[in-house]
Structure 1
Amino acid sequence: MNQLSFLKSSGLLLSLFLIAGCSRPKGEESYQSQPIVLPVDVVKSGDAHLHTEYTASIEGITNVEIRPQVSGYLKQILIDEGDYVQAGQVLFRIEDGPFAEQLKNAEASLMATKANLSNTLLDLDRKKELLNSKMVSDLQVREAETVYAASKAAVQQAQAAVESAKINFNFCAIKAPVNGYVGRFNYRLGSLIAPTNLEALTLLSDVHHVYAYFSMGENEFLDFQAQYPGASIKEKLAGTPAVSLMVANGTLHDKTGRIDAVEGQFSKSTGSITLRAKFDNPNTTLRSGNTGKVLIPQQYSDVVLVPISATIAIQDKKYVFSLDQESKAVQVPIEISGKSGDQYIVSKGLSVGDRYIVAGFERLQPGTPVSVEKANQ
């Protein structure tokens, strides 16, 4: 085959390819113009129930530092970390030998002052009798009365010293002031402990009821107060709904609580105010130091609702595919003000009566015609 014949054959093949290529888009265009059948529903309004979350720290209703009231060496530890103890139970013992000796000395001094008081009383009585027979002067009697009064005061002072020594001796047995769980020990056997120590021996916490402390900003707190009737904060708190507590693993505590107190002033450093909610904790599943979130319920009426499953997220924005008057897909950005169950509360982007695609829009392109299929109710 010569060069001219080859060129003619190549040109013929190229023309055939061009014809085929030009005819294919026409077929594709015909295919794409066919509407896609997708479920479509109409935007509705309704009542919404949601919770506002506030990060909270949890403390036992009673948290007591256990500290020594006398100085000495730690002789005995009678409980273990984490034990539940009763009020009055002995937790620690301090070496009590020195305090026992102080008590003995005080009791001996008391006996001596009592003996001296008896002698001064005898002397006073004798001088009073002698005064009647004019054998002593009135001045001597008054002097005897003064000595007796001083001896009587000495007895009272010695008695107070005995009581003080008893108190110090009894302080060697460190007892639980309340029921609760024992925290971590900061001192071990043989440690020299004193009331001036920076750290307490341990912390005793009663967690059958717990407090959850959380904060609100100034605007939030003003809005919070405006929701409930009452002239005082106490009256307003009485009208607040029960609140829930979500613990760190995302589960809800099995008891609801009530907001029962508000701090007296806003923090100058954070601009927030602290509120307190009280929860029953009969199974002691919550402990002091736990963290969580207090959930305050809120109810809204006649708000625009759309299923969460009917939305797509692109970066930090939410979108819904709606239909225009020609039933073509339109990707609409929406603003969300909250979540109620499996629905979003839409504050901007959709109106009641707008049509939106319920499902099947994952690969849908804007402008694609859609054949409406009634969504399942």
Structure 2
Amino acid sequence: MTHQRSNIRSRRLIPGLIMACLLPAALSSCGNKAGAETAGMETPVPELPVMTLDTTTAMTTSDYSALLEGKVNVDIRPQVDGYLDKIFVDEGSYVKAGQPLFQINEQTYREQLNKDIASLHAMESALNAAQLEVDKVKPLVDNKVMAEMQLKTALATLQTAKANVEQAKAAVASSRINVGFTLVKAPVSGYIGRIPKRIGNLVGKGDAAPLTTLSDISEVYAYFSMSENDFMNFSKGASGATLQQQLKLLRPVTLVLSNGETYSHKGRIEMVDGQFNRTTAAISLRATFPNPASLLRSGNTGKVRVEQLFSGVIQVPQAATLEMQDKVFVYQVADSNKVVRRILDLAGRSEENFIVRDGVKRGDKIVTAGIETLIEGTVVKPAAGSKDTVAPAAGK
């Protein structure tokens, strides 16, 4: 019985041992077969368009947010205190220099003027009396009828009377000025802004808000700011020995309105601030635009478009670049058609191209499409017809 159990156990173990021996051989055979198949397959070389870089002429454009102000933007403020009696103009109306705008009640100032005039007349009478006294005493002193001291006293009285007359004249002139200030006139020609005060309101020199704002918008100033790097590039590309010469030789600038339309008149940059803002590291500039149709008003916003012409530069299509961690790079086709990643130092943009300061040079070849999946060291095949492609030149 024991012998039979041993035979049965042996018969069960033999098939298992056979499978254990055959399994590694089978796996080895399958692995060798798969390896042979893989070894027989080659990864296809990607065929991509390639561009040969060359120097060219490029026009760059840069837009800067701008705030518009009239050529003259004046706050109209009262120079005397009083109640507002009349308003001669309406908000938004055009006025000429010297035209009346507001009338402040003048009664108090008119009465003061009359009082000062009366005082002047009194001082003039006192002067005449003092002069008569001198004329009377002088011959008596000359004939030694009266003491010389009396003449000196009469002359001193005369000098005091003259001084009183001059003081009274100054008071009259001041009162006349105050009466004139009650009629507020336009200092320049332009358009009236909002008028917050109404007839009957008390106005004065200490008011926080002006009576209105008057804008001369025959020309408008567009104020905008450039970063330090932009200004350095801007100055580097300008001609002229001095700043004023550079400003005169700059190309006209364009104003893009808030609705996206381009303003019909070109402007010129006429002012550059003397220093950079320490907080923003930017510098302010001013461009002047003609405004014959009065389309632009103080307070408008827009963008000043600055153009610069560069000669002998290299352009790279923006579509041929990738941006990663604030760096822009391209894939250059190097020896054996292997691609190498090159980081670009950009000087600006021209339409759909980047202007390159450093990173690639004339004669280099770059991949212009399909770069999203490329990795450094990949071998590529230049697509047919792309061997002699050169970056196009921008219009002059």
What range describes the TM-score normalised by the shorter chain of this pair? 0.7 to 0.9
Unaligned runs of 5+ in 2: 1-48, 331-340, 375-382, 387-396
* 1:292 paired to 2:302: yes
Q: Percent identity?
A: 40
* 1:108 paired to 2:118: yes
- How far apart are residue 48 of structure 1 and its match? 3.2
* Alignment partners' CA distance in 2, 1:267 and 1:355: 40
Q: Which residue of 2 aligns with 1:176?
A: 186
Q: Which residue of 2 aligns with 1:48?
A: 58
* 1:94 paired to 2:142: no
* Preserved CA contact (<8 Å) 1:43 1:352: yes
**Higher Rg:** 2
* Preserved CA contact (<8 Å) 1:43 1:304: no
* Preserved CA contact (<8 Å) 1:42 1:352: no
Q: Give the AA of the match of 1:62.
A: V
Report the number of matched residues. 332
How does 1:1-377 map onto structure 2 within 5 Å? 46-301=56-311, 340-341=350-351
Q: Deviations over 1:58-106 (max 9, x none)?
A: 1111111111111111111111111111111111010000011001001
* Preserved CA contact (<8 Å) 1:43 1:305: no
* Alignment partners' CA distance in 1, 2:178 and 2:153: 38
- How far apart are residue 118 of structure 1 and its match? 1.1
Q: Deviations over 1:195-225 (max 9, x none)?
A: 1211111111111111111111112212221
* Preserved CA contact (<8 Å) 2:237 2:310: no
Q: Give the AA of the match of 1:190.
A: G
Q: Give the AA of the match of 2:120.
A: L
Secondary structure of the residue that 1:250 maps to in structure 2? coil
In the superposition, the TM-score normalised over structure 1's length comes to 0.73
In the superposition, the TM-score normalised over structure 2's length comes to 0.69
- How far apart are residue 356 of structure 1 and its match? 9.1
Q: Deviations over 1:166-198 (max 9, x none)?
A: 000000001111111111113221121111211
* Alignment partners' CA distance in 2, 1:138 and 1:353: 110
Unaligned runs of 5+ in 1: 1-39, 321-331
- How far apart are residue 153 of structure 1 and its match? 1.0
* Alignment partners' CA distance in 2, 1:303 and 1:114: 84
Secondary structure of the residue that 1:204 maps to in structure 2? strand
Q: Give the AA of the match of 1:69.
A: Q
* Alignment partners' CA distance in 2, 1:165 and 1:279: 43
Q: Give the AA of the match of 2:204.
A: A
Q: Which residue of 1 aligns with 2:14?
A: none
* Alignment partners' CA distance in 2, 1:157 and 1:195: 25
* Alignment partners' CA distance in 1, 2:211 and 2:107: 21
What RMSD in Å do the two structures reach over aligned CA positions? Answer: 4.1
* Preserved CA contact (<8 Å) 1:257 1:278: yes
